[in-house]
């Protein structure tokens, strides 16, 4: 009898030690819009938790703020089946996301789950969503050029490895097309594309039509369309950066393309307003302006000798307004901006890069002096034509009144041709520089005038 009892006791003891520790859980008390309030369970901002719905469903949420004993939560997925008093169970681990070489050619959502129906991801590792911050003083400086495969950028706005640029444009001006061309034509080792807050249809179009099989094979795509929760959109932007960091830490030269930084800022605005942060600048609460550099500063060069992340962030300038607060903030934290012009797009001039309004701040450090001065010369001549453009078009410009303008008129056709590029035409860096040298004749010094090769503008002294 005693032995049977002892045996039974041992069995029960075994069962007890296998049981997980008792769960601490809170209760859902309020839900307004996307904000959920929970009591009875202290959690730290950024913690994850599961809210148990009425049936088998549960909703994952993240702590985004608190007030006295109330904790504010924001769901990651659609909220369904939640009722007052629902159990809120904190999750122990910080959220981890998959990374690894097998992600190449895959499309994932903000949680790292595949969206492309190509089966589960064979991730090499799962890492925390926020990578280690590299001390800015330990980062390699931007010194080498990066071939992005776009002639106007390679020749006139040369990008450096580890540079961060903004692509400023209104909607429908050709941002997505340009990013797609870069993905296909860049010589970067890998491209990581983040599609944040776009319409679902655009995501599909971008992947199937613009990237195509060729572009997709050399990239990883993270997509969080506009109907994803704002938290998921933020996560997708962070995941895009995290995947790029992973490849950089493997010594790769990564090109990160994020479309768009504005939608990322808007997702943060939705969250901040929902938890009661007051709006400051044109409806954007201050935390938005703190979040932007936190995301952007993670890209760039790694430690010397390591890999790099060269990044392009698209910034929407609604109604082509360059004074938008997000555009302003982005301009201040990025090392260059490329502006797409609606006028050029309407003229059928693609890519519609406004070379006058665009600048790459690292160009002097990554180009030789001959290339740099020729690019400057191109911009001067091009600008001269644009200044006189209205006069010329109404026939009010009298030929011969300004030699520099005459020169510009003579070359504008070639220059404009040079700036345009077909969707399927690649323009490698060295080729782009050679073409730049050919399209704008050098400004000739008086001594060299006699021996110089004759050119169409040979009779003008001040060329
Ligand atoms: N390089 C290009 N060549 C020809 N057409 C283009 C080019 N880039 C853009 N377009 C035209 O502009 C439209 C909008 O481009 P898209 O890249 O989707 O704009 P955005 O992403 O800025 O909203 C395209 O559907 C296409 O008709
Ligand atoms: Mg687009």
The pair of three-digit structure tokens given for residue 355, joined into one six-digit string? 């070379």
* Span 287-298, average pLDDT: 92
CA distances from 265 to 43, 275, 337, 406 (A): 25, 16, 18, 46
What residue ranges define each of the domains in the chain, with the CATH number in brackets? 23-88 (2.40.10.170), 94-366 (3.40.50.12240), 370-437 (1.20.1270.330)
- Kindly state if the Cβ of 195 falls inside 6 Å of ligand 1: no
> Cβ distance 378 to 156 under 8 Å?
yes
Nearest Cα residue to 184 out of 212, 204, 224 = 212
- This model's pTM is above 0.95: no
Q: Is 370 helix (H, G, I), strand (E, B) or coil?
A: helix
What local confidence, expressed as pLDDT, does residue 321 receive? 64
What local confidence, expressed as pLDDT, does residue 463 receive? 35
Average per-residue pLDDT in the chain? Answer: 86
Residues in the chain: 463
CB proximity list for 55: less than 8 A, separation 6 or greater: 81
Q: How far is the CA of 457 from the centre of ligand 1 (A)?
A: 36
Q: Which of 7-11, 329-333, 405-409, 458-462 has the lowest mean pLDDT?
A: 458-462
- Kindly state if the Cβ of 423 falls inside 6 Å of ligand 1: yes
* Span 133-150, average pLDDT: 89
Helix (H) or strand (E) holding 16: helix 2-18
Convert the pLDDT of each residue in 61-94 to its tens digit: 889 888 888 999 988 887 878 888 888 988 877 6
**CA nearest ligand 1 atom 2, residue:** 350
> Cβ distance 306 to 249 under 8 Å?
yes
Give the separation between CA 6 and CA 349, rounded to whole angstroms. 87
Read off the pLDDT band of 279 (50, 70, 90). confident
Ligand 1 atom at shortest distance from the alpha carbon of 180: 17
- Kindly state if the Cβ of 205 falls inside 6 Å of ligand 1: no
Pocket test for ligand 1, best of 151, 167, 176, 177 (most atoms within 8 A of CB): 177
Convert the pLDDT of each residue in 38-67 to its tens digit: 998 888 888 888 888 877 788 888 898 888
Q: How far is the CA of 176 from the centre of ligand 2 (A)?
A: 4
In the predicted model, is pLDDT for residue 446 greater than 70?
no
What local confidence, expressed as pLDDT, does residue 22 receive? 61
What local confidence, expressed as pLDDT, does residue 455 receive? 45
**CA nearest ligand 1 atom 15, residue:** 174
The pair of three-digit structure tokens given for residue 117, joined into one six-digit string? 């129906």
Q: Is 77 helix (H, G, I), strand (E, B) or coil?
A: coil
In the predicted model, is pLDDT for residue 16 greater than 70?
no
Exposed e or buried b for every residue in 53-92, given b needs 16+ CB within 10 A?
beeeebbbbbbbbbeeeebbbbbbbebeebeeebbbbbee
* Span 128-136, average pLDDT: 81
Ligand 1 atom at shortest distance from the alpha carbon of 181: 1
Residue 413, judged by CB atoms within 10 A of its CB (0-12, 13-18, 19+), counts as exposed
Nearest Cα residue to 256 out of 162, 152, 125 = 162
- Kindly state if the Cβ of 351 falls inside 6 Å of ligand 1: yes
Residue 352 phi/psi, 5-degree rounding, is: -80, 50
In the predicted model, is pLDDT for residue 447 greater than 70?
no
Pocket test for ligand 1, best of 173, 174, 204, 354 (most atoms within 8 A of CB): 174
What local confidence, expressed as pLDDT, does residue 12 receive? 78
Q: How far is the CA of 103 from the centre of ligand 1 (A)?
A: 28
Ligand nearest to the CA of 175: 1
The pair of three-digit structure tokens given for residue 216, joined into one six-digit string? 């997709």
CA distances from 256 to 109, 187, 253, 407 (A): 16, 13, 10, 39
Helix (H) or strand (E) holding 201: helix 200-205
The pair of three-digit structure tokens given for residue 64, joined into one six-digit string? 């985004």
Ligand 1 atom at shortest distance from the alpha carbon of 173: 22
- Kindly state if the Cβ of 180 falls inside 6 Å of ligand 1: no
**CA nearest ligand 1 atom 11, residue:** 174
Ligand 1 atom at shortest distance from the alpha carbon of 169: 22
**CA nearest ligand 1 atom 14, residue:** 172
Convert the pLDDT of each residue in 196-210 to its tens digit: 998 888 888 999 888
Convert the pLDDT of each residue in 160-191 to its tens digit: 999 999 999 998 899 999 999 999 999 999 99
What local confidence, expressed as pLDDT, does residue 462 receive? 40
In the predicted model, is pLDDT for residue 285 greater than 60?
yes
Q: How far is the CA of 170 from the centre of ligand 2 (A)?
A: 9
């Amino acid at each position: 009898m005693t032995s049977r009892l002892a045996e039974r006791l041992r069995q029960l003891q075994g069962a007890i030690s296998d049981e997980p520790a008792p769960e601490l859980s809170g209760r859902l008390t309020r839900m307004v819009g996307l904000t959920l309030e929970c009591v009875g369970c202290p959690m730290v901002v950024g913690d994850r938790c599961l809210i148990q719905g009425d049936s088998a469903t549960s909703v994952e949420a993240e702590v985004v703020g608190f007030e006295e004993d109330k904790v504010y939560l924001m769901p990651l997925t659609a909220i369904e089946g939640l009722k007052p008093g629902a159990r809120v169970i904190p999750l122990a681990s910080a959220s981890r996301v998959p990374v690894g070489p097998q992600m190449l050619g895959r499309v994932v959502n903000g949680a790292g789950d595949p969206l492309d129906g190509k089966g589960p991801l064979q991730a090499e590792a799962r890492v925390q969503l926020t990578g280690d911050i590299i001390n800015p003083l330990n980062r390699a400086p931007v010194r080498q050029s990066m071939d992005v495969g776009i002639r106007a950028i390679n020749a006139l706005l040369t990008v450096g490895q580890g540079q961060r640029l903004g692509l400023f444009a209104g909607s429908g001006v050709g941002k997505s097309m340009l990013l797609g061309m870069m993905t296909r034509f860049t010589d970067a080792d890998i491209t990581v594309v983040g599609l944040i807050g776009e319409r679902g249809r655009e995501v599909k179009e971008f992947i199937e039509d613009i990237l195509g099989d060729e572009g997709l094979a050399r990239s990883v795509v993270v997509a969080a369309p506009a109907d994803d929760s704002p938290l998921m959109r933020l996560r997708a932007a962070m995941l895009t950066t995290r995947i790029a960091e992973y490849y950089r830490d493997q010594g790769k030269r990564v090109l990160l393309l994020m479309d768009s930084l504005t939608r990322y800022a808007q997702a943060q605005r939705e969250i901040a307003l929902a938890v009661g942060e007051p709006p400051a600048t044109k409806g954007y609460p201050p935390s938005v302006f703190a979040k932007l550099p936190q995301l952007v500063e993670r890209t760039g060069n790694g430690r010397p000798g390591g890999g790099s992340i060269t990044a392009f962030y698209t910034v929407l300038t609604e109604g082509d307004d360059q004074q938008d607060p997000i555009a302003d903030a982005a301009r201040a934290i990025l090392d260059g901006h490329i502006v797409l012009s609606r006028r050029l797009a309407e003229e059928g001039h693609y890519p519609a890069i406004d070379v006058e309004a665009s600048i790459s701040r690292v160009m002097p450090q990554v180009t030789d002096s001959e290339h740099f001065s020729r690019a400057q010369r191109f911009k001067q001549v091009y600008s001269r034509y644009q200044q006189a453009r209205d006069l010329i078009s109404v026939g009010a410009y009298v030929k011969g009144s300004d030699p520099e303008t005459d020169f510009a008129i003579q070359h504008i056709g070639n220059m404009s041709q040079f700036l345009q590029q077909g969707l399927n035409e690649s323009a490698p860096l060295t080729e782009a520089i050679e073409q730049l040298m050919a399209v704008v004749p050098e400004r000739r010094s008086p001594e060299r005038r006699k021996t110089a090769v004759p050119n169409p503008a040979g009779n003008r002294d001040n060329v």
